[in-house]
């Protein structure tokens, strides 16, 4: 089975790094509750410095699909997203799905 990684990088608005981090931490909690294994990283040096990246991992495409379906109808996550979109503290820089290559 291929591990599926959903990777989203956010750039907090000026003066809003702490708010952005708090938002990403809350999103992480929602995704973990729905079945994702998540971590947050920040890039200190490179193409997107001082950004926040949320990585959500699922063991297979089937697990990723099941989590995605749950997310679409989860009242807690949808309410959170509505609130965040009404008063954004960061922008999405990149977003992608990747699969792990073994060996």
Going residue by residue through the chain, which has 103 residues, state the pLDDT in tens, using 9 for 90 and above.
689 999 999 999 999 999 999 999 999 999 999 999 999 999 988 988 999 999 999 999 999 999 999 999 999 999 999 999 999 999 999 999 999 888 7
pLDDT in the model for residue 44: 87
Domain boundaries, the chain: 31-43+58-89
**In the chain, how long is the greatest CA-to-CA distance?**
44
């Amino acid at each position: 089975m291929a591990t599926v990684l959903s990777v989203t990088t956010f750039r907090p608005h000026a003066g809003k790094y702490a708010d952005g981090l708090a938002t990403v931490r809350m999103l992480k909690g929602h995704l973990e509750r729905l079945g994702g294994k998540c971590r947050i990283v920040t890039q200190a040096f490179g193409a997107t410095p001082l950004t926040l990246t949320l990585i959500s991992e699922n063991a297979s495409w089937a697990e990723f699909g099941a989590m995605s379906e749950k997310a679409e109808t989860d009242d807690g996550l949808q309410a959170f997203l509505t609130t965040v979109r009404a008063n954004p503290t960061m922008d999405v820089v990149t977003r992608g799905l990747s699969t792990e290559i073994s060996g």
